[in-house]
């Protein structure tokens, strides 16, 4: 039998064992104590409770919980696991949630409908994703972001693909759980395609109708995390401006490979993790002081538990970190090969280019499974003139001045584009985090990260081949 518990006027709770579930508030308590559980897991619990005793297939759960986006089965498994943990199913004989192999899940215990007393104050709402690995370094950046978010209302964290923008945003937001009284809401834009998707997903996240969104937000003291905005950058900027305009206590932190250029925006650009420079001859202990080294070693240890950093391998490890510019995603992807190639093998392969970084974690996002995919995502968003300048700049090894860049571009372009257009293209490449700015004491210089440069060089060669 299906229970009717969806109408907002129903002041009902569902009791099972020591648990009470308040559907309206999406609140689960055990013996009167509120349990902390993500929004999606709550949604799944509601579906299972509504259809208690019946088998609910994974597809049905996906459709009910993610009505507008495509997710894989792993997401269902992750949230079911979180639910089971909250319900203590792992140390119980009579399970609340039973798995029926190949079929789905069933809520198997008795449920009674009770008139709900005032629910206890729930834990502050927060749907930040859990970060499964430790975060190396970034203390300064995380502090700075957390601080800024208590003072400014719109902050964009920018930087190249895989540099750690999402990681820093999540870590900083975690620190602010007690600061925002109406919680922290995290929206990943990577799988959204349009402005409509964006406002629709935001309404679903906040569980409000589109027409009531401004009124709802006006009363909220909350942090909204808009993650991976680069492909909808103008839409995100407009949305942020309009939301902030109507909600005085709303704060937004966004991650994007390029800034929003919105009113009142603060921008924080993330650079690579610190890594030893070529002239450093370090002991293992000294190298341990660099976040890039620690990240690489830690990731190697998850492939080879006996792997240690020592004085014999420190030089190879430092060379790999240098070659990969301390780029976290690239370091992760390289470490995957440690069991097959060993350190020397990885170092040698990297000399050949970034192709070794082509086999990532199976669970990683598609655009993170290879560094190439992460760069493709950025390259695909460039205009034709920017793409051509980007390819050409790969000829320059090391740092270069703006004048050098423009001279080269002008020469290869044979004067077909004005200098102003070329300057605009270089500016765009900087804005979109494909060219890094190095601010020295004397002059501003520019540089492509080695990983980015290999990619651009590849594109240049492909183009030359295609053009004969």
Ligand X SMILES: Nc1ncnc2c1ncn2[C@@H]1O[C@H](COP(=O)(O)OP(=O)(O)OP(=O)(O)O)[C@@H](O)[C@H]1O
Sequence-ordered alpha helix ranges (H) in 414-449: 419-431
Size of site (CB under 6 A) for ligand X: 24
Query: Does residue 51 interact with ligand X by CB under 6 A?
Result: no
Query: Does residue 174 interact with ligand X by CB under 6 A?
Result: no
Instruction: Return all residues near 338 (Cβ < 8 A) that are at least 6 apart.
Output: 300, 303, 304, 307, 346
Backbone angles phi, psi at 337, to 5 degrees: -90, 5
Which residues on neighbouring strands pair with residue 202, listed in sequence order?
Answer: none
What 3 state SS string does 106-120 have?
EECCCCEEEECCCCC
Query: Does residue 166 interact with Mg ion by CB under 5 A?
Result: yes
Closer residue to Mg ion in complex, CB, 125/165: 165
Binding to Mg ion (CB under 5 A) within 221-260 occurs at 228
Query: Which partner in Mg ion, ligand X, none is near 332 (CB below 5 to 8 A by kind)?
Result: ligand X
Contact between 270 and 168 (Cβ < 8 Å): yes
Q: Which of 146, 374, 405, 425 binds ligand X (CB under 6 A)?
A: 374
Beta strands in 25-117 (DSSP E): 27-30, 33-34, 97-100, 104-107, 112-115
CA dist 286 → 94, 136, 240, 291, 313 (Å): 53, 15, 44, 11, 13
Minimum distance between the CB of residue 385 and ligand X, rounded to whole angstroms? 23
Query: Which partner in ligand X, Mg ion, none is near 164 (CB below 5 to 8 A by kind)?
Result: ligand X
Contact between 206 and 216 (Cβ < 8 Å): yes
Q: Is the dihedral of CA 203, 207, 211, 214 positive or negative?
A: negative
Number of other CB atoms surrounding residue 38 within 10 Å: 21
Encoded one letter per residue, x for contact with ligand X by CB under 6 A and - for no contact, window 7-46 reads ----------------------------------------
Closer residue to ligand X in complex, CB, 392/428: 428
Closer residue to ligand X in complex, CB, 13/189: 189
Query: Which partner in Mg ion, ligand X, none is near 369 (CB below 5 to 8 A by kind)?
Result: none
Distance, in Å, from the CA atom of 295 to the CA atom of 302, rounded to the nearest integer, reads: 11
Query: Does residue 378 interact with Mg ion by CB under 5 A?
Result: no
Minimum distance between the CB of residue 252 and ligand X, rounded to whole angstroms? 16
Binding to ligand X (CB under 6 A) within 216-255 occurs at 228, 255
Using CB under 6 A as the criterion, which residues of the chain lie in contact with ligand X when the complex forms?
A: 133, 135-138, 159, 161-167, 228, 255, 257, 273, 295, 328-329, 332, 367-368, 374
Footprint of Mg ion (CB under 5 A): 165-166, 228
């Amino acid at each position: 039998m299906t229970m009717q518990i969806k109408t907002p006027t129903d002041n009902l709770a569902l009791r099972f064992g020591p648990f009470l579930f308040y559907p309206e508030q999406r609140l689960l308590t055990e013996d009167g104590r509120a349990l902390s559980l993500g929004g999606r897991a709550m949604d799944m619990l509601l579906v299972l409770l509504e259809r208690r005793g019946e088998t609910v297939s994974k597809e049905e759960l996906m459709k009910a919980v993610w009505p507008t986006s495509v997710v894989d089965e792993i997401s269902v498994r992750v949230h079911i696991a979180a639910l089971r943990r909250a319900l203590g199913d792992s140390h119980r004989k009579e399970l609340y949630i039973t798995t029926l192999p190949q079929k789905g899940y069933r809520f198997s215990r008795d449920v009674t409908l009770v008139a709900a007393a005032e629910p206890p104050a729930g834990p502050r709402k927060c749907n930040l994703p859990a970060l499964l690995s430790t975060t190396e370094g970034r203390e300064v950046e995380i502090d700075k972001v957390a601080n800024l978010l208590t003072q400014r209302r719109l902050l964009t964290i920018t930087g190249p693909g895989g540099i750690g923008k999402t990681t820093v945003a999540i870590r900083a937001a975690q620190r602010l759980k007690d600061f925002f009284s109406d919680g922290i809401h995290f929206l990943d834009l990577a799988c959204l395609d349009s402005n409509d998707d964006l406002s629709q997903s935001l309404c679903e996240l906040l569980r409000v109708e589109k027409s009531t969104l401004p009124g709802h937000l006006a009363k909220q003291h909350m942090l909204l995390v808009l993650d991976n905005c680069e492909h909808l950058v103008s839409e995100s900027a407009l949305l942020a401006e309009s939301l902030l305009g109507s909600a005085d206590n709303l704060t937004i932190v966004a991650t994007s490979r390029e800034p929003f250029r919105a009113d009142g925006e603060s921008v924080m650009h993330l650079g690579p993790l610190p890594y030893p420079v070529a002239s450093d001859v370090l002991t293992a202990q000294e190298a341990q002081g660099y976040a890039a080294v620690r990240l690489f070693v830690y990731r190697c240890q998850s492939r080879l538990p006996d792997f240690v950093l020592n004085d014999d391998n420190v030089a190879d490890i430092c060379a790999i970190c240098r070659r990969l510019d301390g780029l976290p995603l690239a370091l992760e992807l390289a470490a995957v090969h440690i069991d097959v190639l060993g350190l020397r093998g990885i170092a040698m392969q990297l000399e050949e280019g970034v192709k070794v970084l082509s086999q990532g974690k199976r669970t990683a996002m598609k655009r993170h499974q290879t560094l190439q995919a992460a760069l493709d995502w950025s390259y695909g968003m460039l205009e034709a003139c920017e793409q051509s300048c980007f390819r050409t700049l790969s000829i320059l090894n090391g740092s270069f001045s703006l004048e050098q860049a423009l001279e080269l571009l002008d020469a290869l372009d044979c004067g077909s584009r004005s200098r102003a257009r070329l300057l605009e293209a270089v500016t765009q490449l900087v804005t979109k985090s494909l060219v890094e700015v190095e601010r020295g004491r004397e002059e501003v210089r520019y540089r492509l990260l080695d990983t980015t440069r290999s990619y651009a060089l590849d594109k240049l060669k492909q183009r030359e081949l295609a053009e004969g």
